Amino acid sequence: MTAFATTDTPLSEVLDAGLAERITTAFGHRTVGDLLHTLPRRYRQHGQRYDRRELVDGERVTIIGTVATAATRTYTTKQGQPREMLTLTVKDEDTTFKVVYFAGRRIKFMLPVGTVAMFDGTVSRFRQSLDLKHPEFLVLRSVAGPGGQLKGSGDLAALARLSAEIDAEGGPSLFDRPLLPIYSAKESVTSWDLLGAVVTAIRALVPVVDPLDDAVRQAAGLMGLDEALRKAHLPGCVEDADRAGHRLRFDEAIALQLLLGARRRFVARDPAPASPVRGDGVRAAMESRMPFELTAGQQTVLEEISADLTLDEPMNRLLQGEVGSGKTVVGLLAMLQVVDAGRQCVMLAPTEVLATQHHRSLTAMLGDLGERGRLGAADQATRVVLLTGSMSTAERRAALLDIVTGEAGIVVGTHALIQDSVDFFDLGLVVVDEQHRFGVRQRDRLRAKGRDGMVPHLLVMTATPIPRTIAMTVFGDLEVSELGELPGGRRPISTSVVPARDRPRWVERTWERVREEVGAGHRAYVVCARIDADTTDAPDGATKGGDDDRAGDRPPLVAAVELHQYLSTGPLAGLRIGLMHGRLPPEAKDATMTGFATGDLDVLVSTTVIEVGVDVPEATVMVVMDADRFGVSQLHQLRGRVGRGGLPGLCLLVTNSREGGKAMERLNAVAATTDGFLLAQLDLVQRREGDVLGDAQSGALASLRLLSVVDDGEVIEIARRHAEEILDSDPGLDTHPALAERVRRLSGSDESDYLFKY
């Protein structure tokens, strides 16, 4: 074992090889720095009282108490072997625990009445008793006197030996500390394993060089890094632990903000095609004939985007807004501004269904302004072209020709457009729908699509609201614009939860309401979480399980194929019912969506392929089966498909969840508000950021150990401000090598190499 270690020293050089390997396997920690940047889950305070009313059955607890009584009795095992059971009552302040050892012959001599010991195990409640069965223990003070060695069982025995070494060196006793750290354990590594490893690492650690300047530390009120790494694990008081944890979270936040700031600056290095607003172009013609006025929010956002497009610096803007807030109109007018400058635009959609829908809606909005080259086209007209993977060879060849010659001013397609060998005449703007499905690396591919070294402007849009802290962390390399208000004519959507388990009659009433809406000339969606009975996993983004499921306690998920057949011959017999899911061939999907949009179909039974962008103004009711299997934001997206044509919308969330469970709580929250930003925050709190964000943007975020975008918004904001100041004065981080190394570890060496080459 090494006597001296830095944060880069491998754990195997500091710890026992077996323990080091187990920690690496369980947690991924390979170095001393990795280990010390993992904070305790909580701290056990001397004198801390347990409130017996708050103790949960099955919770792991650590008690420090005095053995009040000890009793033994003999019993016979199933194998016929005699055993001696030891039962202790242990008083921890005002709370009494019953501690049981089924093989207590040797232990009874180590834990006589009057002994002060620490016990660690899982608590169980039986009537008025709090029981710990066979917990690990460590004798802190024996009735035999203070001179004896610490004695213990399991991992606490090894910790006792380490504590004895510290005592022999004259250090403060490990178990007399005011706060004892408790770590999140895994099957092969206990909390006490980690405590022993941390103490061993800290004892070997040489003073750590701080990557932050004194000025930054003082301005942000931060503890030094060396002090923080030590006090995070062995604090002298609660304030020490809080300040140390704050410092370590700040380090992660500033590394992330430096990475995002470097990305913003990297994108701005190359020129973009400046596209000023024209008073006599296709945008002006479109604005003059629009049958409605833009809302104040739309006008403000459009002005921000227009100002960006007039510059020769690439726009990188995120436009987020409520479902139906009019993002598509803003995106169209932005594209027409670029078309007026003689350049092309791309609108990327996550699915072919949505790409086809966008092509249809853009063409309809433009009318003769989108029919360039055709008879009757307006003088300023452009052409809107669709390019998808399911097109015939002839259709694809014609579309590619329009793109490469510049005949197509607006190209609509899926993300394959930026990956395939599609050549543009002069690409000036890329509009991406549903940013949360489109990652940073995909955005970087756009840089090669411009002409003459120009970088296309980028506008990414999402109807999945993103709380401010998410926007600053995940999309921090983008400027953010928000649309909160709905355009005139949009009617509120009423949402109700249908508890199928407790009120089956309400399910019958659900289908009656669908019939009533269809009878009034309207249309209905019915969304399922899986395709058919053979589908094992919920498709198209539905979650795999509810929050309060119990094995065998709920019926299987409703499948779209089976429900389509049931409704067609049962509750909705006589209505024209279509079926849509991800396994259908593209032409079948398009035919079904066209039939629903034109009124040839009354009801559409579907999976979540219709989640975003689909716009059928006559649709007024949305039924979501097994609604507990969907996230809050996803449910908000789904119900946004109705109430788009000036008619009241109705969303019915059918669930087999029990009253009082987390799933029902989530559904009731969705029913209570239509504020997407409020719901997004709730979704984030309930499911945490890893589940909400997915993989698209979370490469760097997945590397964070301590920072939480849910809880650490203030830390993130402060770190962003200081990161910008550092990059302004030292864009290559040449005078901040330790910070540069943190960023490199966060992003990967390849990206940091090109980001910081100035």
Give tens-digit pLDDT for 722-750.
Answer: 999 999 999 989 999 889 888 888 776 56
Please determine, for residue 490, whether its predicted confidence score (pLDDT) is greater than 70: no
pLDDT of amino acid 692: 39
- C-alpha to C-alpha distance for 70 and 108, rounded to whole angstroms: 8
DSSP state of 462: E
**Choice among 14-28, 147-161, 264-278, 416-430 with the minimum mean pLDDT:** 147-161
- The number of beta carbons lying within 10 Å of the beta carbon of residue 342 is 14
Please determine, for residue 361, whether its predicted confidence score (pLDDT) is greater than 70: yes
Please determine, for residue 540, whether its predicted confidence score (pLDDT) is greater than 60: no
More confident residue, 683 or 114: 114
Pick from 317, 285, 284, 275: which is nearest to 300 by CA?
A: 317
pLDDT-derived band at 625 (thresholds 50, 70, 90) equals very high
Please determine, for residue 117, whether its predicted confidence score (pLDDT) is greater than 50: yes
pLDDT-derived band at 325 (thresholds 50, 70, 90) equals confident
pLDDT of amino acid 587: 82
pLDDT of amino acid 691: 43
DSSP state of 224: P
pLDDT of amino acid 374: 83
- C-alpha to C-alpha distance for 359 and 184, rounded to whole angstroms: 51
pLDDT-derived band at 143 (thresholds 50, 70, 90) equals low
More confident residue, 535 or 690: 535
At the second CATH level, the architecture of 46-157 is Beta Barrel (2.40)
pLDDT of amino acid 342: 94
Give mean pLDDT, residues 255-272.
86
Please determine, for residue 576, whether its predicted confidence score (pLDDT) is greater than 90: yes
- The number of beta carbons lying within 10 Å of the beta carbon of residue 21 is 14
**Which CATH number is associated with domain 282-483?**
3.40.50.300
pLDDT of amino acid 86: 93
- C-alpha to C-alpha distance for 619 and 603, rounded to whole angstroms: 9
Tell me if 297 sits within 8 A of 484, measured CB to CB. Answer: yes
Give mean pLDDT, residues 359-380.
87
694: which 2 tokens? 């997915």
- C-alpha to C-alpha distance for 696 and 754, rounded to whole angstroms: 21
**Choice among 98-102, 383-387, 636-640 with the minimum mean pLDDT:** 636-640
Q: At a CB cut-off of 8 Å and minimum separation 6, what does 559 contact?
A: 528, 530, 531, 532, 533, 535
Give mean pLDDT, residues 409-437.
82
Give the 3-state secondary structure of 566-595. HHHHCCCCCCCEEEECCCCCHHHHHHHHHH
Please determine, for residue 155, whether its predicted confidence score (pLDDT) is greater than 70: no
Element (H, E) at 392: none
pLDDT-derived band at 612 (thresholds 50, 70, 90) equals low
pLDDT-derived band at 473 (thresholds 50, 70, 90) equals low
Using DSSP's 3-state secondary structure scheme, residue 412 falls into: strand
pLDDT of amino acid 65: 85
**Choice among 173-177, 230-234, 568-572 with the minimum mean pLDDT:** 173-177
**Choice among 295-309, 341-355, 624-638, 667-681 with the minimum mean pLDDT:** 667-681
pLDDT of amino acid 552: 46
**Choice among 352-361, 420-429, 470-479, 683-692 with the minimum mean pLDDT:** 683-692
- C-alpha to C-alpha distance for 500 and 558, rounded to whole angstroms: 12
Pick from 544, 543, 329, 337: which is nearest to 429 by CA?
A: 337
| Domain residue spans of the chain | 46-157, 282-483, 493-673
Give mean pLDDT, residues 116-130.
83
pLDDT of amino acid 392: 86
Pick from 405, 642, 426, 646: which is nearest to 513 by CA?
A: 642
pLDDT of amino acid 22: 93
More confident residue, 462 or 276: 276
pLDDT of amino acid 545: 46
Give mean pLDDT, residues 582-589.
84
pLDDT-derived band at 549 (thresholds 50, 70, 90) equals very low
pLDDT-derived band at 51 (thresholds 50, 70, 90) equals low
pLDDT-derived band at 336 (thresholds 50, 70, 90) equals very high
More confident residue, 285 or 632: 285
Q: 């009552």: which residue's tokens? A: 89
- C-alpha to C-alpha distance for 350 and 173, rounded to whole angstroms: 59
Please determine, for residue 275, whether its predicted confidence score (pLDDT) is greater than 80: yes
Average pLDDT in the chain: 83
- Identify which of 404-418, 467-481, 628-642 has the greatest average pLDDT: 404-418
pLDDT of amino acid 608: 82
Please determine, for residue 382, whether its predicted confidence score (pLDDT) is greater than 70: yes
Of the chain, the percentage scoring pLDDT greater than 90 comes to 41
pLDDT-derived band at 645 (thresholds 50, 70, 90) equals confident
Q: Do domains 282-483 and 493-673 have the same CATH topology?
A: yes
Q: At a CB cut-off of 8 Å and minimum separation 6, what does 438 contact?
A: 348, 350, 415, 432, 460, 696
CATH topology of domain 493-673: Rossmann fold (3.40.50)
**Cα 541-620-297 angle, rounded to 5 deg:** 75
Please determine, for residue 54, whether its predicted confidence score (pLDDT) is greater than 80: no
**Choice among 29-38, 50-59, 261-270, 544-553 with the minimum mean pLDDT:** 544-553
Instruction: Say how many Å lie between the first and final Cα of the chain, rounded.
Output: 42
Name residue 127's beta-bridge partners. Answer: none
- Identify which of 34-38, 44-48, 375-379 has the greatest average pLDDT: 34-38
Longest dimension (CA), the chain: 105
Please determine, for residue 136, whether its predicted confidence score (pLDDT) is greater than 60: yes
The tens digit of pLDDT for each residue in 219-243 reads 999 999 999 999 999 999 999 999 9
Q: Is 751 exposed, middle or buried (0-12, 13-18, 19+ CB in 10 A)?
A: buried
Tell me if 281 sits within 8 A of 340, measured CB to CB. Answer: yes
The tens digit of pLDDT for each residue in 672-722 reads 988 777 777 777 666 555 443 444 344 455 567 788 777 788 898 899 999
pLDDT of amino acid 63: 81
Phi, psi of 388, deg, nearest 5: -135, 165
Name residue 528's beta-bridge partners. Answer: none
pLDDT-derived band at 535 (thresholds 50, 70, 90) equals low
Q: At a CB cut-off of 8 Å and minimum separation 6, what does 239 contact?
A: none
**Cα 689-694-700 angle, rounded to 5 deg:** 75
CA atoms within 13 A on the CB side of 475: 26
